[in-house]
Amino acid sequence: MNFDLTQYPPIVQQIAGYALQGFDLAKSWLLSPAAWSQFAILVGAYLLAVLISRRLRPALKNLIDPAGLQNIFTAPRLFILQFLPLILPLLAYALTGIGEQVVRSMFDSGAVIAFGKRLFLFLAVRAFVRDILNDPFLKLLGRFMLLPIAALYAVGLLDLVSLQLTDTVVGVGNIRFSLMSIVRGLIAGSLLFWLGQWSNSQTSALIQKQEMRPSIRQLLIKTVEFMIFGVAFLVLMNVMGINLGALAVLGGAIGVGLGFGLQKIASNFISGVILLVEGQATVGDYVALDGGEQGKIVKMTARAAILETFDGRWIMVPNEDFITTRVVNYSDSGSANRYEAEFSVSYDTDINLVPDIISTAVSKHPEVLQLPYPPDCELRGFGDSGINFAVEFWVNGLDDGPNKYTSDVLFIVWNALKDNGIEIPFPQRIIEIKGGLPMAPKETT
């Protein structure tokens, strides 16, 4: 078959040439007795693999399946159990390999059966991506990277494509690398990113279970995270074939940028490390800054701390503010804080009875502490309308959000005063009119 393709672009001519080669190869296979014998061996190997897998899969499942038993071997057995869908294509691949050795010894040719063996391997990869990979990122990686590679290998074009990618070289500045390096970098980078995320989450969960100060725990988590992704970056550069010495110019540019444009980021990063080491403010503490920001620290990142206010808003505060400004740490993680509730009583009250009545009543609140000090009712002064008192009390936590300690105590004060017949005054004023009231005008008749 000859076609005149001179008027078409070179890429079209090249594709047409590959298509003609494939057509000639298929025609030679169809007309060759050796090829037909290889087709027969392929079909026989597949049917034998189907027969064996139908008997082998149930037996292996009954042997491996933990059947509700929970022990140290449960997780490994469940992990092995999910690979059972690979039995059929891998059996077909193995049996075809045996048949290939027989055919090559008889006919000194095995192109057809070699193609069938690669095809069974492609089916095994397809089953692995479809039935075994459960992680969404790994499944996406397998669908768009692993399956195309397996398909190219099955049709015998993998070496040709690899050679073309290796010969195509691109450069950025003084760094030069081939397209194959980019492909390897994409594959390795994706796997290293997923592995780094997975190992970081596993390590963080392990550190969170350890008994240590929250600040040290956060410091360890961040240190492990930087180490994991730092090692991943070095491995990725090695896989792509990039000489790290060639990055010296880029590293110098980054250093200059840190010295000028990124000094705030560097300052916040170092401040974050200092906070984690000292532990003066860590996750779970309630803090208030000079700038007016206040809330509970719910997360500390490399650049900033995340505060959650009692009204549900999140405030991002740079780490540097915790070092350079005054910070009030209420330490909401179980520390005791003192509050007071003010009230007034009538001037007709025997004020000597009020302290004992109020202190005893407030002490009955389940959240009010007796240590470091029990509730204390103090006389504060004589007001315009009544006598002013205040009861001081200690509680664990903060008087806001889910805890309304002052409100509870004021309810207790109200009920205690009512039960003892003590009046809470309202504002009263005495008005004196100098010269008396004006006389009403007399009516004229």
Residue 189 to residues 149, 180, 285, Cα–Cα distance (Å): 17, 14, 38
In this prediction the pTM is 0.48
Give the pair of three-digit tokens for residue 145: 């990277």
Mean pLDDT of 147-175: 79
Q: What is the CATH number of the domain that holds 409?
A: 3.30.70.100
* Average pLDDT for the chain: 78
Asked whether 398 and 330 are in contact (CB, 8 A), the reply is: yes
Who has greater pLDDT, 435 or 199?
199
Who has greater pLDDT, 389 or 92?
389
Who has greater pLDDT, 18 or 183?
183
Mean pLDDT of 356-363: 93
Mean pLDDT of 29-55: 75
Examine residue 251 and state whether it is found in any structural domain, yes or no: yes
Does one domain contain both 37 and 151? yes
pLDDT at 11: 62
Rg of the Cα atoms in the chain: 40
**Is the pLDDT at 415 greater than 90, yes or no?**
yes
Give the pair of three-digit tokens for residue 10: 């070179």
- What confidence tier does 59 reach under pLDDT thresholds 50, 70, 90? confident
Examine residue 369 and state whether it is found in any structural domain, yes or no: yes
Does one domain contain both 120 and 150? yes
Examine residue 367 and state whether it is found in any structural domain, yes or no: yes
Element (H, E) at 428: none
Does one domain contain both 130 and 45? yes
Who has greater pLDDT, 374 or 179?
374
CA–CA dist 399, 402 (Å, integer): 8
pLDDT at 413: 94
Does one domain contain both 234 and 287? no
CA–CA dist 152, 41 (Å, integer): 23
Does one domain contain both 127 and 218? no
Does one domain contain both 293 and 250? no
Mean pLDDT of 362-380: 91
Does one domain contain both 181 and 201? yes
**Is the pLDDT at 99 greater than 70, yes or no?**
yes
Tens of pLDDT, residues 63-97: 777 665 666 666 677 777 778 888 888 888 888 88
Residue 220 to residues 214, 276, 303, Cα–Cα distance (Å): 10, 9, 16
Examine residue 25 and state whether it is found in any structural domain, yes or no: no
Does one domain contain both 56 and 97? yes
Among the listed residues 374, 359, 285, the one whose alpha carbon sits nearest the alpha carbon of residue 322: 285
Q: What is the CATH number of the domain that holds 303?
A: 2.30.30.60
Examine residue 150 and state whether it is found in any structural domain, yes or no: yes
Examine residue 349 and state whether it is found in any structural domain, yes or no: yes
Does one domain contain both 323 and 340? no
Among the listed residues 334, 338, 353, 330, the one whose alpha carbon sits nearest the alpha carbon of residue 405: 338
Domain that holds residue 255: 175-259
Does one domain contain both 112 and 195? no
Burial of 217 (0-12, 13-18, 19+ CB in 10 A): buried
Does one domain contain both 108 and 189? no
Examine residue 244 and state whether it is found in any structural domain, yes or no: yes
The last residue of one of the domains, among 272, 304, 329, is 329
Tens of pLDDT, residues 196-218: 777 777 777 777 777 766 666 77
**Is the pLDDT at 391 greater than 80, yes or no?**
yes
Tens of pLDDT, residues 291-310: 788 888 888 877 788 888 87
Q: Report DSSP letters for 40-105, one per residue.
A: HHHHHHHHHHHHHHHHHHHHHHHHH--TT--STTHHHHHHHHTTGGGHHHHHHHHHHHHHHHHHHH
Does one domain contain both 304 and 390? no
How many domains does the chain divide into? 4
Examine residue 344 and state whether it is found in any structural domain, yes or no: yes
